[in-house]
Structure 1
Amino acid sequence: FDGHEMARLTGTFDHTLQEARNNGDDARDQSLVEQVETTPGLCWLLEDGRILDGVEELAGADFIWGGSECNITAHGSHPWHADRFGSSETEFTRVKVMIYLDETRADHGCLRVLPGSHRDPYHTTLEPLLAQDEGVAERTLGVSGEDVPSVFVEAAPGDVLFFNQTLWHGVFNSFPGRRFVALKFAERPSSSVHIRSLDKYSAGVVFRPHVALVEHSDPRLRGMVAGLVDLAPAR
């Protein structure tokens, strides 16, 4: 995105999150969901062909919506993890689109990824790391989490990152006030395994899409939530 677009995005993001915390102290983690769908200064992200075309290339033309997050992090690290873990998850494409509002570098809170870890058998061999306790990386891989060989995905404001949610990733040497928007998508489910996965991780969003998308004027946005209510598992 260009400077004008980022100024618009950042201004709305900051105002929205500050308002949500009643103008209080911002030196803490904060996460809001369903803001992109409902906030005029943010919803343009979902209408932008640069994002939707990229998602379509990765998840197919009939992709579905998986929800949004607006986040501020205060912690110094987010140890190695996969957003969606398991052999069955590696067969179901889930795409996360990340837009950082602050510059991140190798020594300053950038995303780190383990290439190929979104596929088995590599993916499931890393299961012990899910414990995320101190020393688990050294016990499992022989080095500290920070020293695990990985790819540093440095980003400047305006960069848009796409990655598979089964990919193992982490953040180290982070900084207070690290801001980012996350947009989540998936291929349209075609099996009961896919439905169970969506029910486990995203039921409150996927099977109950916000009216702002259900009634959106853009057929592409309506299409990514069409029929999802009917797929919800019986309770």
Structure 2
Amino acid sequence: MTEEGAPEATDAERKMRFLYALRSRGVTDARVLTAMERVDRGHFVRGHFAARAYEDMPLPIACGQTISQPSVVGLMTQALNVQPRDTVLEVGTGSGYQAAVLSLLCRRVYTVDRHRKLVADAQRVFRDLGLVNITAFSADGSFGLPDQAPFDRIIVTAAAEDPPGPLLAQLKVGGIMVVPVGQSDTVQSLIKVTRGERGFDYEELRPVRFVPLVEGLGND
């Protein structure tokens, strides 16, 4: 029973509310919704905040980072327009939740984070869930992964002042990058970058708020 005396929501009810919240905030792509239904966010939220895993809100995780709110994960994934044969680079592994969702939509996900602890924790969850098409690295994500480039899609889950040049260079012609861009942690825009034969096209999607993209490795 809840504190108000009403019965606790069943798993099916929580899932229904979760998907309704995604749709009501603009996540309408059927493949994205199916992937997010299959990936239980509860696996990626631990400790004091575990009970809030199914709410549409960002939550603290280790190393001073956050797990993004599900609707933002859905909108970024939707904008990325991932195809089944794509190879995707994610910069900012965090909890691993975004990579897990992407893994159900593409051929392979490479994910990189500057915090070794976050990478190790995410790898354990990936193994537990049987997500074998995710490769996670601890490295400075602002430089991408040149040895694995080029990529069909790149997603950045930390805010840069401008779309990072090394990541733009690792995007295939016809590829898409989704990245939050802003000069501060209070004014940021989610940008969709599409690489064409003659350069890059930029589309501003919506205001967002992410932790900053930091160069170098963490101290953990």
Select the structure of larger CA radius of gyration.
1
Tell me: higher relative CO, structure 1 or 2? Use CA pairs within 8 A at least 6 residues apart: 1
TM over 0.5: no
Q: Which has the higher strand share?
A: 2
TM-score, normalisation: structure 2? 0.32
